[in-house]
Amino acid sequence: SQWSRDPIYRSAKGEGYRSRAAYKLLEINSKFEIFRPTDTVVDLGAAPGSWLQVVRSLTEGTIVGVDLNPIPPLEGVVTITGDFTNPLVQSEIRKIVDLVSVVICDASPKISGKKCYDQARTIDLNEQALAFAKSILKQGGNFVVKTFQGELFNDFLKEVREHFYSVRVYHAQATRKGSTETYIIAKNYIHKRDEASTD
């Protein structure tokens, strides 16, 4: 199959990761130092759980994974099956964690093959992830989100930059060749209440 011929996929399986996406997060963390040893983390769109596996190896804090699809159990991780854009699901997350240090999102909508439509839906999902991150991140927290290059990308990037001191765009080496997939790495969240108090 196409997957069995993919050396990164084979390597991920050999090391016990649930998908090749694990290497993307390892690469991102190695370059940008997203996680600290006691960070509390929420992973949006977490199934099958490879990013959760990476996070568990990097922090001893509380970790919550959310996805529409059930996430196979992972020791030391709380999983929720549901739509992270749903207020009821968000309320369930907040029963487990109040404020968090890091929000990560590797989610993407089902691809239709119509480029403009797919990108619009991706950016909408990104916006929802950003809105959730803003509602739950601590001052100085970090946010990592997968997106795709396209006509709506720059507007979303500009919006992220309004809320974090440091924002970088990164194309992971573990991404398949030819893909427009990219990651926005946003560090040091500016809590609006804190910002207002300094005026």
Mean pLDDT, 10 residues at a time, the chain of 199 residues: 45 57 92 97 96 96 97 96 96 97 92 78 95 97 94 95 97 75 96 52
The counts of H helices and E strands in the chain are 7, 7
In this structure, what token pair is assigned to residue 82? 């549901």
To the query of whether residue 95 is one of the catalytic residues in this protein, the response is no
- DSSP code for 82: S
Termini Cα distance of the chain: 59
Contact call for residues 41 and 102 (beta carbons, < 8 A): yes
Its pTM stands at: 0.88
Question: Residue 86: helix, strand or coil by DSSP?
Answer: coil
Q: What local confidence, expressed as pLDDT, does residue 15 receive?
A: 55
- Whether domain 21-197 has CATH 3.40.50.150: the reply is yes
- Choose, from 31, 114, 134, 146, the residue flagged as catalytic: 146
Q: What local confidence, expressed as pLDDT, does residue 180 receive?
A: 79
Residue spans of alpha helices (H) in the chain? 7-14, 21-32, 50-58, 87-96, 115-136, 153-161, 192-197
The residue extents of the domains of the chain are: 21-197
